[in-house]
Amino acid sequence: MATGLSYREKSLYASLAAELLVYGPYFFLHRQNSVNKVAGMIIAIIVLQIILQSIIAALTRNRVTDERDRLIELRGYRAGYLMFASLMVFGLGMLWFHATVGHFRLDNRMMGLHFLNVFFGMLVIADITKTATQIVAYRRAL
């Protein structure tokens, strides 16, 4: 049976598309060697989200959200948090390991940018996990 997409589902698909469109090229195509690129990426995702969400809001007449939407949203946030916490534990473990064996040179100017990218990457993965979990939850039994 064709169920169509609710306002929240359309919004989630748009968010996922925006995230992949902006974060994908940044992490896989560019050299992450500048704070300006990080700032540009943040601005790009904000602008793209505003444009996409405005279009969806304008094209969708029925913008009702209900208890199922809220439940799915909570599940998404739980999955995102678990992903972020797991990555943080893994990242801190790696940091501790490399610091112990002396791989890090903290006087290196690129070290701050490297950490910025690693932690920002964790946030991005957690955010994509949250959105993807919500999209899957709409298609599965709760």
Partner 1 sequence: MPAIRNQIRELRAMRDMTQQELADRIGVTRQTIIAIEQDKYSPSLETAFKVAIVLGVSLEQCFQYDPRGKR
Nearest approach in angstroms of CB 35 to partner 1 is 42
What is the rounded distance in angstroms from the CA atom of residue 59 to the CA atom of residue 126? 29
Nearest approach in angstroms of CB 8 to partner 1 is 8
What is the rounded distance in angstroms from the CA atom of residue 72 to the CA atom of residue 80? 12
* Per-residue interface string for the shown chain with partner 1, residues 109-138, x marking contact by CB under 8 A: -----------------------------x
Interacting residues with partner 1 between 56 and 75 (CB under 8 A):
62, 64-69
**Using the rule CB under 8 A, is 3 a contact of partner 1?**
yes
Contact 10, 60 (CB under 8 A): yes
The amino acid occupying position 46 is: I
**Using the rule CB under 8 A, is 5 a contact of partner 1?**
yes
Helices (H), the chain: 7-28, 35-59, 67-101, 110-139
What is the rounded distance in angstroms from the CA atom of residue 8 to the CA atom of residue 53? 10
Greatest Cα pair distance, the chain, in angstroms, is: 61
Interacting residues with partner 1 between 9 and 28 (CB under 8 A):
9
Nearest approach in angstroms of CB 139 to partner 1 is 9
Nearest approach in angstroms of CB 75 to partner 1 is 12
Binding site for partner 1 (CB under 8 A): 1, 3-9, 62, 64-69, 138, 140-142
